[in-house]
């Protein structure tokens, strides 16, 4: 079993949630229950899945939760691209968020590979 609060991937993904909440706070009110809500929920799922995976007794189970977290990261990237297409965020913000997200994906993938 791992202590999730000690994992760098958990810390980074938790901080990334804050970034998503900050960025989406200026999205149009009409998107409150649309892409704003979707981005926030999926961003929370990354550190949540990492934490839940830590509670598992077997590395194979933990690796599965990390895989789900990676899937959530790709989901966020898609929604961020759509948000940029719609003019809710600019290219600079998109690039910054995608850079952070890519780091989380790479670190999580590397960590997952050590569990096999």
Q: What is the CATH number of the domain that holds 31?
A: 1.20.1440.60
Cα(81)–Cα(62) distance, integer angstroms: 29
Q: What is the pLDDT of residue 1?
A: 62
Angle 21-26-27 (CA atoms, 0-180°, nearest 5)? 90
Could you list the residue range(s) of the whole structural domain that residue 84 is in? 4-115
Cα(88)–Cα(36) distance, integer angstroms: 10
Total count of domains within the chain:
1
Closest residue by Cα to residue 11 from 37, 39, 46, 40:
46
> In the chain, at which residue ranges do the beta strands (DSSP E only) sit?
none
> 3-class SS at 87?
coil
pLDDT per residue of the chain (116 residues) written in tens, 0 to 9:
678 899 999 999 999 999 999 999 999 999 999 999 999 999 999 999 999 999 998 999 999 999 999 999 999 999 999 999 999 999 999 999 999 999 999 999 999 999 86
The residue written with tokens 């995608």 in the block is 98
Angle 13-17-83 (CA atoms, 0-180°, nearest 5)? 115
Q: Are 50 and 43 contacting, i.e. CB atoms less than 8 angstroms apart?
A: no
Q: What is the pLDDT of residue 57?
A: 84
End-to-end, the C-alpha distance of the chain in Å comes to 14
């Amino acid at each position: 079993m791992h202590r999730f609060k000690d994992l760098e991937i958990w810390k980074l993904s938790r901080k990334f949630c804050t970034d998503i909440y900050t960025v989406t706070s200026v999205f149009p009110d009409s998107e409150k229950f649309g892409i704003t809500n979707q981005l926030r929920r999926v961003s929370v799922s990354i550190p949540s899945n990492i934490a839940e995976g830590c509670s598992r007794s077997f590395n194979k189970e933990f690796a599965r939760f990390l895989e789900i977290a990676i899937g959530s990261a790709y989901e966020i990237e898609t929604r961020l691209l759509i948000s940029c297409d719609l003019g809710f965020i600019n290219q600079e913000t998109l690039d910054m968020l995608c850079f952070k997200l890519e780091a989380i994906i790479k670190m999580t993938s590397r960590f997952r590979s050590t569990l096999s």
